[in-house]
Amino acid sequence: MDKSSAIVLEAIIEVCSEDTSVVSSPSVAVWTPCGSENKEDKTAESEKRDETDYLCSPTPEPVPKVYFIYAKRCEQLKVNQSEKHFRSMTESLATSHQQDLISVSRTLNDQLVVHHATFGACGTTAVCSTIPFFPECSKVVLDGNNLTAWAIKSIVTYLCRLKHLSELVLSSINLNVIPEKIIVTLLVSTRTLKRLDISGNKLNDKTAASLLEQLIFYQNLEELNLSKNLLGLQSCQALEKLLGETASLKILNCGWNEIRGPAAMVFAKGLKENYGLQYLDISWNGIGNNGAWAIGNWLKEAGQLLSLNLSSNRIEAIGLAGLFLGLAENDVLRELILSRNPLSETAVRESLYALASGLSRSVLETLDFQHIDLGFSFDQLVQETKQFRPKLTCLWSPRDPHLFSKFNQMSVKVDLIEANTLQMDF
């Protein structure tokens, strides 16, 4: 065990074993948290010091143990104490007992939010060490913090103690650097979650599948963000089970993964077993035409889906046809996003013709064709379609003549190079 891990383990044991308050020295009248001036590396061993020595200026009144724990952890990890976090704890404690700060109310500090690059790995770990003193905390947001493996392990230990956690955001914190079993342990201990965000962690297919298997036991999960990971076939097989057994799930984001080929077909099969999903994002996966047809078949049965994002999925004209066949039998979908797909202008025009002259059951209000090569005359067709569907908003990008002129110049240069090569070979 390295030195950092030993320090963190010792600190965790102290949190569990110590009482709830510390009586400070009577010689000092005012307490203030450490500021940025306290930067020297203190070498005195912690077991030989009085607990209140870790506070910069102790008060003669009893103070909550949480103050001492946080201050001590900051010194052990050699980071500055955050005045903002001290104020947050003070204000939260004062809302319940102005004169009695020893007994920590169970209604205080219902959320802990530490956004990216706020304290660093050590500072974030120190802040999270105060979590056990607020057992009613229901929301923890740690998005974007570049945490190390030992920091994540310590934070997971603290999070496992929260029995009323309903929202947990662990996006882009390097979850991929810790063993799979640690994340599984966290999910086993937090089955009260309604919202879970583990996006941007580059979790591999096997690890993601193991985590999704634990989510099957979540009875209240409403929102799940799995974007920007490496979900593939194994994950989609686990998602199939999750979608079939979780009726509470309303928002699912699987964008920027590897759901394509067989994985896309398995994913679509799982969607057919779910009837409560309202918002689905599977953009930037490359599901292709076969995946689009499978999603189109699901649209015929999707009774509550309001928004579907299929941008950047390599969907061509034949895939678009499959989607609109499903849309013809759907009477709930309000938004369909198809931007950045290799669709021809002819295919896009035919889809608008279908909306104008048919698809009487469809209630589509937003259709997104942005970043697709469409001519300026496309606007006229959009206006004509609105005469039949006044509520329809069609988003599209007009062709950039300068951009395409550059492409033409490049193609001419390529042709010249090829011609010169042929002449030289001859």
Checking if the pLDDT of 101 tops 70, the result is no
Least confident interval from 2-11, 230-239, 336-345: 2-11
Q: How far is CA 224 from CA 81, 211, 227, 246, in A?
A: 34, 12, 9, 12
Q: Predicted confidence band at 54 (pLDDT cuts at 50, 70, 90)?
A: very low
Whether the predicted pLDDT of 56 surpasses 80: no
Mean pLDDT of 50-66: 49
Of 143, 202, 208, 197, give the one whose Cα is nearest residue 165: 197
Q: 286-426 architecture in CATH? A: Alpha-Beta Horseshoe (3.80)
The answer to whether the CB of 242 falls within 8 A of the CB of 270 is yes
Domain ranges of the chain: 286-426
Token pair recorded at residue 285: 């996966």
- The answer on pLDDT for 218 being more than 80 is yes
Instruction: State the Cα angle at 231 between 228 and 237, rounded to 5°.
Output: 150
Question: Would you state the pLDDT for residue 125?
Answer: 85
Per-residue model confidence as pLDDT tens digits over 180-195: 999 999 999 999 999 9
User: CA-to-CA distance for 122 and 173, rounded, in angstroms?
Assistant: 13
Closest by CA to 276, choosing from 303, 297, 296, 313, is 303
Structure pTM? 0.77
Contact 65, 18 (CB under 8 A): yes
